[in-house]
Every structure is written in structure tokens, then in C-alpha cells.
Structure 1
Amino acid sequence: MLFNEAINLQLKDGEAIYYPECFQKKEADTYFKSLLKTINWQQDNITLFGKTHAQPRLTALYANNNNTYSYSNITMHPKVFTKELLEIKQHIESICNVHFTTCLANLYRNGKDSNGWHADNEKALGKNPIIASVSFGATRSFHLKHKTKKEQKCKINLEHGSLLLMKGATQENWVHQIPKTKKEVGERINLTFRIISK
């Protein structure tokens, strides 16, 4: 496996590091094709501001324990890690020097699929959670903005085989999103590794 240079996004009141080539292209291609087939994708309904609609992406939860994960009135029950997810997890852990318990997987089918402004700050994740976000497939734009300092913004393209590591006070002080796009984009798989131990 290739481990290339790290790019510090220089977030004020937070910490985010981007590894553009965490996986070699051939390896990333193989994982992308396999994960499309082997992950048990589902589409949940999401309730925001009193309105319920289909979540604009497919998701799945995997873990090495039975701890559920809840967000936006959705409670997900984990399945056992697949062989490929375990391989990816072990590689990410060797970079982050952290042992993750859980992976929330997202499948963005096209440019209409998205993830609105949010922070990964659920109680189950604890204070200052470490989130390791792996991307396979189409490149999508990732936006960050500070919760109180409006001039503090950041945009980055999450590329095939890349890793974005968010830690420190990032989830406390920043929100992020994957916006919709009118560009013709293919499928993207996003694996977000996290720690849910209670």
C-alpha cells in the first residue's frame, strides 16, 4: 500500500489532514468494485425540521461491537465487518495510530446525492472524536465552514483512494457537507471510521 504526503488543511480551532493517495489506484479500483457489491446498502427516511423524506444517499453501518449509531432520528444497527472493510480499517489505523470500532458507509449514486451541513458530534462519539473518511470512486467536493467565524471556510476535492482525517475540536467548531452538483459524476463510496465504545 502506498502512503503519500499529508496536507494539513490549517483549520482554525480544529485539525484536518488530507492524504490524497492513501491507496494506490489499482487497489482503490478493486475496493470500489467489491464494496459496491458486498456492502448491504439501505436508504433510510430522514426527518429534518419536521419533514420526513428519503435520505439522499445510501448507507450502511458496520462494527466490531453491537453499539447502535443514531443521527437525525435514524438509529442504525451494525453488521459485522466484511473482509474488505477490515483490511481498509487496519490500513487506516496504521496511519492514524487509532483503533476504530465502527464504520458508517455512504454511497453517493450521482450528483443529486448529497450530505447537508452537519458536525459528527453525537454523544456516542465522545468529546473531540477522530473521524477517518476514506473515498473510493468519483471525486466530490467537500466543504467545511466554522460555526461562528464566518470568514473561516475550506473546500477540498476528495479523490479516489484518499483519506481525510478530522480530529481535535473540529466537530465542535466546524460543520461540513457534500453538496449536490449538476456535473455528471459517477458513484462514490465514502467510509467514515469512528469510535463508538458505549
Structure 2
Amino acid sequence: MSRSDAQSARASLDWSDGQLQYLPQWVDARMAEQWLRELLVRTPWAQPQLTLYGRTVAVPRQVAWYGDVDARYCYSGHTHVPLPWTPLLSEIRRRLEEQVGQPLNGVLLNLYRDGQDAMGWHSDDEAALGPDPMVVSLSLGAARRLDFRRKGGSRIEHSIRLEHGSLLVMSGSTQHHWQHQIARTRKVTAPRLNLTFRLIRNESET
């Protein structure tokens, strides 16, 4: 499947070693704008620091982790203790659980303030997410391009433009075989908020 195919208005992508579903208008524009405004103002944003090759650097975006009390999330060397669910995030979670037919007990909010904020190549394959994790990603604000490459590869094989109010569900073996990124761009000057809902499993389940 070409990158242009992946950018179609509604896409169900089955790459034999990964499954994605993209819903471009999962929430209407008016409500998406309300959600975006409230979350931008009321979220206690943080900017964690990482140590890379002996240097300490701040991640190029702002983040917040919400979830059930036992949904601690460890990634990039940090353990994120969940903030309690807000009424709005609880409502979004309820709608998403109905959409995907699976419980979701945590959400990572990533704020890309403009095109210079980014997310490097990675897979959501932490042990706490289980063997075939489902990642349910809601985009609000400026559209950004999500790229995919095979693990161990260097060539971008697929891209999806994540529009305001859109939903992307990554499931099956996607995280085993693929990495994804949000690259920097000079073309975007407005903020984008990404909410990635997950099911964090306790130690007895992993």
C-alpha cells in the first residue's frame, strides 16, 4: 500500500504484520475544538528530561499521564504516576471503550506546541501493555503527519495525516514490526494535542 493510499479519508490498513484503523472525523469539529481548549488550559503539563549519550535533554513536547490508580506507566526510563481522571477525560474514555470494545485504563497526553515539537522513532511495546497492545490515538488541533517504518529499517513506508478530531487505532502485531514518529516541520505553527489511550496490565497479567 502506498503512502497516498494511507492518506485516504477513511482507511483500514492491514499490512499482514500490523493493523490500523483511521477514522478522520471521529468527533465533530465543534466538540473537538471544545475538548482542545479545555485540555490545553486545565492540564498540568510537564516536560520530562532524558539522558541520551551522556547528555540530559528535555523531550521535545509537553506531556501528562492520567489513569486508574494502579496504571503506572514506565517508558523512556521514567515511571509516570497517573493523575486522576477528569470528567472530560472520563467521558472521552467511555466513548472510546465503546468504539474499540476494550477497557482503557490510562491516557498519555502529548502537546506539540508547534511544528518544532516532535516524537522520535519508537514502538509502543512496553511489557506493561501486553503481547499485542492496542493504542487508541485521538488527535486534536493542527494536523500532523505520522510516519511508519519497519523495525530495523530506515525508509518511511507509510504516512497518515492525523486531522483534527480524528482517531487512529493501532492493534494486533503492529508494535512488534513497526516504528512510528511525528517529525519536525516548519509548516505547522499551531498546537496539536494527541491523547493515546492504553490498557496497562499489572504484573500478574504480563
Question: TM-score, normalized by length of structure 2?
Answer: 0.89
Query: In the alignment, which of 33, 40, 46 is matched to residue 42 of structure 1?
Result: 46
CA positional deviation for 1:184: 3.3
Mapping for residues 9-88 of structure 1, pairs under 5 Å:
9-88=13-92
RMSD between superposed Cα atoms in Å: 1.6
**Does the 8 Å CA contact 2:71/2:105 hold for their aligned counterparts?**
no
Q: Deviation digits for residues 55-84 of structure 1, max 9, x if unmatched?
A: 100000000223321111122110111111
Larger deviation, residues 39-48 vs 188-197: 39-48
**Does the 8 Å CA contact 1:65/1:101 hold for their aligned counterparts?**
no
Q: Gaps spanning 5+ residues in structure 2: where?
A: 1-8
**Does the 8 Å CA contact 2:33/2:140 hold for their aligned counterparts?**
yes
Q: Gaps spanning 5+ residues in structure 1: where?
A: none
The alpha-carbon distance between structure 1 residues 189 and 12, as it changes in their structure 2 partners (threshold 3 A), is: same
User: Where does structure 1 differ by over 2 angstroms across 4 or more consecutive aligned residues?
Assistant: 9-12, 47-51, 148-152
Distance of 2:132 and 2:32 partners within structure 1: 29
**Does the 8 Å CA contact 1:48/1:72 hold for their aligned counterparts?**
no
CA positional deviation for 1:93: 1.1
Query: In the alignment, which of 101, 105, 110 is matched to residue 101 of structure 1?
Result: 105
Query: In the alignment, which of 151, 156, 163 is matched to residue 159 of structure 1?
Result: 163
Distance of 2:188 and 2:11 partners within structure 1: 27
Distance of 1:29 and 1:105 partners within structure 2: 16
The alpha-carbon distance between structure 1 residues 49 and 123, as it changes in their structure 2 partners (threshold 3 A), is: farther
Distance of 2:183 and 2:87 partners within structure 1: 31
For residue 141 of structure 2, what is the aligned residue in structure 1?
Answer: 137
For residue 146 of structure 1, what is the aligned residue in structure 2?
Answer: 150
**Does the 8 Å CA contact 2:142/2:188 hold for their aligned counterparts?**
no
Distance of 2:25 and 2:147 partners within structure 1: 20
For residue 91 of structure 1, what is the aligned residue in structure 2?
Answer: 95
Question: What is the total number of aligned residue pairs between the two structures?
Answer: 194
Distance of 1:49 and 1:100 partners within structure 2: 34
Larger deviation, residues 74-83 vs 166-175: 74-83
Question: TM-score, normalized by length of structure 1?
Answer: 0.93
Larger deviation, residues 86-95 vs 154-163: 86-95
SS at match of 1:52: strand
Q: Deviation digits for residues 160-185 of structure 1, max 9, x if unmatched?
A: 00000000000010000000001133
Distance of 2:153 and 2:16 partners within structure 1: 9
Distance of 2:16 and 2:54 partners within structure 1: 33
SS at match of 2:168: strand
Q: Give identity over the alignment, percent.
A: 39
For residue 121 of structure 1, what is the aligned residue in structure 2?
Answer: 125
For residue 184 of structure 1, what is the aligned residue in structure 2?
Answer: 188
Distance of 2:15 and 2:109 partners within structure 1: 25
